[in-house]
Amino acid sequence: MVEQNREGKPRQLLRRALVPMLVAGGCAVVGSQWVQSRQQARIVRRDDALLDGQPHDMTLSWPYAQSSTLYNVALRQDFFVQYRLNVHLREGVANGRDAIADLQAGRAMAAVAPVLSWLQAWQASPDLPVRLVMGLQAGTFRLLVRRRLRIAKIEDLVGRRIAVLNADMADRLFFSIILRRKGLNPDTAPNWVILPPDEIDDALAAGTVDAVALHDPLAWRLLRNPALDVVELVNSVNGLYAGRTNLALGLSTDVLRDTPGAAVALVLALYNAAHWLPAHMAEAASLLDGRVDGMQQDAILQMMRHEVLGISPVGNDLKTQIARYVDELKLLGQFPDSLNSASYARRISADILRPAQIRP
């Protein structure tokens, strides 16, 4: 069982209200901030009606949750307690595929995995008894190259050796999409080299690989290691992908049907934790001190300042982002061009803050 707060009475959680900015006697709000604020206001307004008021046990499969910023915030800042959740983590979950397998086999009620991994799972099992209910955080994918090679653009990766942890991980999929957008065949343009994490440092130092495609915290640790002398060629924390979720929370259709109150509680706990995070980075870093790949608080805070925090789409926002991922996987030939991406995204997701739409 995952430990809950030991300090007594749960802390009161601060919730944001929708505060209009008065400009020249009128209201002015800007693009995405308005959408996010409106969504937050709707959640705050409706959560009491959606919750059943009961305590719930929830078995969650989340790769390396113990070192996840969002998970630690939700646990140690009492967001789970606030929503009367007793969360049990599955052990030994190494990647998104493991998490999805846990949920599919009934070993977990909920699972966290990259959206790209979820979509591949649905390709393999079209009747996967899961619905995606929220995004959890933006991606931290980084493509690092050895400085001395003077690789300046994606096209320079042709014939180069790129290390990845697994051929099917979201790291490779993400950068395969980038390669395809540049007109390259991602399967043949570079040479993908599969290495365990404890061998990547040596491979870079020895020059047996030219680049690595990874995500934080490992990617950040490599980037900040002066002995390796690597530079960042491209990442997902800037530009087009900065505001897009990477990880998504999937819930079994049994949970959605039988205990919707538990599903709502989990979404609200994680949603509010995600929105607490950007304004409390130093406090969040203190929660992770020594838990992230041996990194200390100052190093964790520095890493967080170079990431995009607070990305947690639900409802239509989530469906729109899923549809974009489907369109991109079409570029890799993993979905047919004839597939209606928007309809597909609606079919595999659920807006559990609108209960009438939950039809597992």
DSSP per-residue string spanning 208-240 = S-SEEEEETTHHHHHHT-TTT-EEEEEESSSGG
Residues 243-268 have a mean pLDDT of: 96
pTM of structure: 0.84
Query: Measured between alpha carbons, how far is 48 from 293 in angstroms, rounded to an integer?
Result: 38
Confidence of residue 255 (pLDDT cuts 50, 70, 90): very high
- In terms of Cβ atoms closer than 10 Å to its own Cβ (0-12, 13-18, 19+), residue 220 is buried
Confidence of residue 62 (pLDDT cuts 50, 70, 90): very high
Structure tokens of 89? Answer: 């983590």
Confidence of residue 290 (pLDDT cuts 50, 70, 90): confident
Q: For residue 185, how many other CB atoms are within 10 A of its CB? A: 12
Structure tokens of 32? Answer: 């995405």
% of the chain with per-residue pLDDT over 70? 85
Tens digit of pLDDT for each residue in 323-356? 999 999 999 999 999 999 999 999 999 999 875 4
Query: Measured between alpha carbons, how far is 199 from 163 in angstroms, rounded to an integer?
Result: 10
Cβ atoms of 272 and 79 closer than 8 Å: yes
Question: What's the confidence (pLDDT) of residue 291?
Answer: 86
Query: Measured between alpha carbons, how far is 204 from 219 in angstroms, rounded to an integer?
Result: 12
| Residue scoring higher pLDDT (166 or 13) | 166
- In terms of Cβ atoms closer than 10 Å to its own Cβ (0-12, 13-18, 19+), residue 293 is middle
Pairing status of strand 230-235 against strand 110-114: unpaired
| Residue scoring higher pLDDT (358 or 71) | 71
Tens digit of pLDDT for each residue in 154-205? 999 999 999 999 888 899 999 999 999 999 999 999 999 999 999 999 999 9
Cβ atoms of 160 and 191 closer than 8 Å: yes
Cβ atoms of 135 and 115 closer than 8 Å: yes
Structure tokens of 339? Answer: 């597939």
**For the domain bounded by 21-138+248-357, which CATH number is listed?**
3.40.190.10
Residues carrying CATH 3.40.190.10, the chain: 21-138+248-357, 141-235
Tens digit of pLDDT for each residue in 299-317? 999 999 999 999 999 999 9
How much of the chain is helix, strand and coil, in % rounded to 5? 45, 20, 35
Question: What's the confidence (pLDDT) of residue 240?
Answer: 87
Residues 97-126 have a mean pLDDT of: 96
Question: What's the confidence (pLDDT) of residue 48?
Answer: 59
Least confident of 47-56, 126-135, 288-297, 337-346: 47-56
Structure tokens of 161? Answer: 């050796």
Query: Measured between alpha carbons, how far is 197 from 99 in angstroms, rounded to an integer?
Result: 19
Structure tokens of 148? Answer: 């001395």
Structure tokens of 294? Answer: 């041996």
Pairing status of strand 56-61 against strand 85-89: parallel
Question: What's the confidence (pLDDT) of residue 289?
Answer: 87
Structure tokens of 252? Answer: 């079994």
Question: What's the confidence (pLDDT) of residue 268?
Answer: 95
Query: Measured between alpha carbons, how far is 308 from 70 in angstroms, rounded to an integer?
Result: 12
The highest-level CATH class for domain 141-235 is alpha beta
